[in-house]
Amino acid sequence: MSRKLAVLTEIIAPYRIPVFNALANIDGIDLHVIFLAETDPFVREWLVYKEEIHFSYEVLASYRRRWRKHNILLNRGMNAALRKASPDIILCGGYNYLASWQALLWAGRNRVPFLLWTESNAKDLRRKTWFVESLKTRFFSKCDAFVVPGKASLQYLKSFGVATEKIFTAPNAVDNDFFSQMSANVCNNSAKWRKDFDLPCRFFLFVGRMVAEKGVFDLLLAYRRLDPRLRREFGLIFVGDGAARPELSELANEVTPGCVGFPGFVQRENLAAYYALAEALVFPTHAEVWGLVVNEAMACGLPVVCTDVTGCAVDLVEEGWNGRVLPPRNVERLTQALEDLARSPEATRVMGENSKRRIQRYSPRACAEGIAAAAVSCAPKYV
């Protein structure tokens, strides 16, 4: 018997399309996805790959504005969309938007199991008022079950008193096959790609938003503190865009010797080339609910240096085996990690191979199976 599953999520993110395609192909799941918007032009520059969508979906009418650091998104038609979908189960990706609360109330009125898909963890630095925290607690109390990407989010929910049996893991995933194949293609003609992208022969790579809370200034300072002989041999490339880029670029001009590059935002087709040609991904963020760039880098065979507040660190990065896990804002430790990788090419290569092996378990299919298990476990209560 097929279960009609309605998934409510914010935007058509490229990394979610493979997951939803896999979910739509699981026996017993009749999937319909409700997007609150196509994209978020204020903070994301992703292309929308609609031609790759092979599942039922719709995009609600929306109104979006930025107010200070707040992302305001209002929608029309949520109740109508749910009535039309007539789901047996609802999976809601987050609790930050009015539409999430509308869906929660609709589910309660219609006795439909309501599941929350959340990546929140205890090390998220976003400060909440007591009022917001009380609303979050109330939202949690109304959910029938929860879907999390990994261990950090699971422990966070348990700290709210959520029973372990109500929490299902759907490991966060990107299209590993895409990044692995693209990376292999680049490596087969690496000299051309380096020339076309004007990349140094060896370099450390950062991928993400160029804002202070991603640790970009820590990384530049750590690179600046490297032995000058290493800086002559290794460059540092910041892929991405954001408010900190002008200041960061100005500071980078003072780093001599050395090579610091800012190619800007890069779409996925070319992003794999940066991963393929880099020595390691360095992600020194001060807070991150997961960090899918880590998945992407590992699929391309890179070791990863990240902070222990990165949501995926406890699941994906093992100290000394496929990377380094450091405390945030510790420039001295970060400098040492970069130096160790630069001086140990064989160990770095082995760590990259370990990354590629581990990330195979974090596939779109594995994520979809976790979601399906949560949906099926809740459906018998009302169906």
Q: What is the DSSP string of 327-366?
A: -TT-HHHHHHHHHHHHH-HHHHHHHHHHHHHHHTTS-HHH
| Angstrom distance (rounded) from CA 243 to CA 264 | 12
| Angstrom distance (rounded) from CA 262 to CA 274 | 12
pLDDT, one tens digit for every residue, the chain (383 residues): 789 999 999 999 999 999 999 999 999 999 999 999 999 887 778 889 999 999 999 999 999 887 776 778 999 999 999 999 999 999 999 998 999 999 999 999 999 999 999 999 988 755 567 777 888 899 999 999 999 999 999 999 999 999 999 999 999 999 999 999 999 999 999 999 999 999 999 999 999 999 999 999 999 999 999 999 999 999 999 999 999 999 999 999 999 999 999 999 999 989 999 999 999 999 999 999 999 999 999 999 999 999 999 999 999 999 999 999 999 999 999 999 999 999 999 999 999 999 999 999 999 999 999 999 999 999 854 44
191 alpha-carbon distance from chain centroid: 30
* DSSP-assigned beta bridge partners for residue 58: 34
Asked whether the beta carbons of 316 and 359 are under 8 A apart, the reply is yes
**Crossing angle of helices 98-109 and 130-141, rounded to 10°:** 30
273 alpha-carbon distance from chain centroid: 19
CATH class of the domain whose range is 176-359: alpha beta
| Angstrom distance (rounded) from CA 231 to CA 259 | 7
DSSP class of residue 85 equals H
In CATH, which superfamily holds the domain spanning 3-173+363-381?
A: Glycogen Phosphorylase B; (3.40.50.2000)
> What are the structure tokens assigned to 244, written together?
């900190």
Asked whether the beta carbons of 75 and 99 are under 8 A apart, the reply is yes
pTM of the model: 0.95
- Where are the chain's structural domains? 3-173+363-381, 176-359
* Fold match flag (3-173+363-381 vs 176-359): yes
